[in-house]
Amino acid sequence: MRQVILDTETTGLDPNEGHRIVEFGAVEVNKRRLTGNNLHHYVNPGRDSDPEALAVHGLSTEFLSEYPPFEDIAQEIVEFVQGAEVIIHNAPFDVRFLDAELQRCGYQPFEHYCGKITDSLAYAREIHPGRRNSLDVLCERYGISNEHRVLHGALLDAELLADVWLAMTRGQESLIMGFSNDAEEVGEIQVASKGDAQSLPVIRPDAQAIEAHEQYLQGLEKEAGQPPLWRKLFPH
């Protein structure tokens, strides 16, 4: 399924109090690769941002007054996410705002246009329980540079989240490593024959590789707070 990773910036915390979206950013991922097909809009909310929200995104009322209202970009947004798995960090927050904006324009709720909605924050909490899982923390955890992120921006945050999401779900690639280049079309798996397997060379790890593996296991143990499965299966 095609994936779209998106983020929004808003005038405040609650659409029920009249707060609006001021920026929308989304990037497309296909076959675990960023395609470069992005959608980005600043939005005129017709109101001021709360001071706390303004401190986060820095988008002033004067700046936003030069941009279209949400109703002018609504159709472009629903077409961009049509049928895709939409990945959002803390999805309930953004979806509430998108629902409110779309309702004002006479559209269906946001979920109606998506194949599915995935909350990357909920996913991060599952694999990193009891730890902080903000976007900044996840960038640091997965070695993704966010030094250029002085203020929050919807497109920038969507791009960072895409990198984080691909890093968090990297283990899923092992499920398709055995597929041929045409596996997606023909559903076949390339498996070596018994004779081929017997002729494969056996490469023994050197001391440097063994040390690197040990450091990796120590990192896993520190991250999880318990010994990794490898140590249980192959104790020293």
In tens digits, what is the pLDDT along the chain, a chain of 236 residues?
A: 899 999 999 999 999 999 999 999 999 999 999 999 999 999 999 999 999 999 999 999 999 999 999 999 999 999 999 999 999 999 999 999 999 999 999 999 999 999 999 999 999 999 999 999 999 999 999 999 877 665 678 999 999 999 999 999 986 544 444 444 444 443 433 444 444 445 556 677 777 777 777 777 776 677 666 776 666 666 65
- 105, 71 Cβ separation under 8 angstroms: yes
Q: Which CATH architecture is the domain 3-175 placed in?
A: 2-Layer Sandwich (3.30)
pLDDT of residue 148: 64
Chain centre distance of CA 138: 11
Q: Distance between CA 97 and CA 123 in Å, rounded? A: 21
Half-sphere exposure of 111 (CA within 13 A, CB side): 8
Show the CA angle centred on residue 171, arms to residues 82 and 190, nearest 5°: 90
Q: Tell me phi and psi for residue 122, to 5 degrees.
A: -60, -40
pLDDT of residue 153: 87
30: amino acid identity, one letter: N
Q: Which of 148, 152, 213, 236 is catalytic?
A: 152
C-alpha separations of 33 from 91, 159, 167, 190 in Å: 22, 12, 12, 23
Alpha helices (H) along the chain = 51-57, 61-64, 74-81, 91-104, 120-127, 135-141, 154-168, 183-186, 194-198, 207-224, 229-233
Q: Determine if residue 228 is left, alpha or beta; phi over 0 gives left, psi from -120 to 50 gives alpha, anything else beta.
A: beta
pTM of the model: 0.72
Q: Distance between CA 125 and CA 87 in Å, rounded? A: 15
Q: Distance between CA 233 and CA 228 in Å, rounded? A: 9
Half-sphere exposure of 61 (CA within 13 A, CB side): 6
pLDDT of residue 163: 95
pLDDT of residue 145: 85
Dihedral of CA atoms 176, 177, 181, 184 in degrees, nearest 10, equals: 0
Q: Determine if residue 143 is left, alpha or beta; phi over 0 gives left, psi from -120 to 50 gives alpha, anything else beta.
A: left
Local structure of residue 89 (DSSP, 8 states): T
pLDDT of residue 211: 72
CATH 3.30.420.10, the chain: domain bounds: 3-175
Q: Tell me phi and psi for residue 104, to 5 degrees.
A: -60, -30
Question: Annotated catalytic, 152?
Answer: yes
